[in-house]
Amino acid sequence: MKNIDSIPKATIERLPLYYRCLDKLLTFENIEVISSKELGGRLGIPSTQVRKDLSYYGEFGRRGVGYDVHDLKKSIGKILGVNKTWPAVLIGAGNLGRALVNYEGFEKMGLKITNVLDVDLDKIGNRIGPITVESMKDLDKVVEEGNINLGIITVPASAAQEVADKLVRAGIKAIWNFAPTRIVVPDEIVVRNEDLAVGIVSLIYHLSWQDKLDA
């Protein structure tokens, strides 16, 4: 495998797409061997790109035959780290927080939200599926006892930095931030900002230009 730092970010971001596609092939279609062309075709990715992405991590598949779907899924799962389950603490038991907790698809990707914390006394003690909402005061204990490395922020933007600081102090190493604001954390903490509004505005931008061109 190449030095992890030399692997393009775009390649790393395509790996979960390959993984999910391979999982679907096995689960719903009983397909056990697939070529890079077919795999790429299902994802709108050229076969040359599929082969290049995988080549960063070693040699997979056989020329003229294709990839063994099961083996490739296992290998990519290992590369991504989704072959094991990563517990996560979610902060903010509001609309988005509840939706994320209730989404079953994350577990297949290695993420298990084990704890949900909030400051609102009306929410603490309530259940979201199998999880009882706990107080923010218990954050350090929850992170330590659950050996949790991943924190998810679903609080209003105004509270996101404060929550990020608390997560870092508690020992969290990676943050998935859904609040529409930048959070500042030490360099060693990995942050993924998920700004859904940016995605939809770019879609609207394209629609509005289409409209102008059609007029």
Ligand X SMILES: NC(=O)c1ccc[n+]([C@@H]2O[C@H](COP(=O)([O-])OP(=O)(O)OC[C@H]3O[C@@H](n4cnc5c(N)ncnc54)[C@H](O)[C@@H]3O)[C@@H](O)[C@H]2O)c1
Q: Is 178 in the site for ligand X (CB under 6 A)?
A: yes
- Residues 88/113, Cβ–Cβ less than 8 Å: yes
- Alpha-helix residue ranges (DSSP H) falling in 29-94: 36-43, 47-55, 69-80
Could you tell me the CA-to-CA distances from 128 to 14, 36, 132 in Å, in that order?
Answer: 32, 41, 6
> CB of 96: closest distance to ligand X in angstroms?
3
- Alpha-helix residue ranges (DSSP H) falling in the chain: 9-28, 36-43, 47-55, 69-80, 95-102, 105-108, 139-146, 157-170, 196-214
Distance CA 215, CA 209 (A): 10
Report whether 111 belongs to an annotated binding site.
Answer: no
Q: Is 203 in the site for ligand X (CB under 6 A)?
A: no
* Residue at shortest CB range from ligand X: 94
Residue count, binding to ligand X (CB under 6 A): 23
Q: Which residues contact 18 (CB under 8 A, 6 or more apart)?
A: 39, 43, 50, 53, 54, 72, 76
Q: Which of 109, 157, 189, 191 is close enough to bind ligand X by CB under 6 A?
A: 157
Q: Which of 25, 69, 76, 96 is close enough to bind ligand X by CB under 6 A?
A: 96
Q: Is 150 in the site for ligand X (CB under 6 A)?
A: no
Q: Which stretch binds ligand X (CB under 6 A): 18-26, 62-70, 103-111, 119-127?
A: 119-127
Report the residue number, 39 or 179, with the smaller CB distance to ligand X.
Answer: 179
Report the residue number, 77 or 92, with the smaller CB distance to ligand X.
Answer: 92
Report the residue number, 17 or 136, with the smaller CB distance to ligand X.
Answer: 136
> CB of 162: closest distance to ligand X in angstroms?
5
Spatial CA neighbour of 25 closest among 59, 81, 68: 68
Give me the residue label for tokens 């009983």.
30
- Which residues of the shown chain bind ligand X in the complex (CB under 6 A)? 91-97, 118-120, 123, 136, 154-157, 159, 162-163, 178-180, 196
| Residues making up the binding site | 92-97
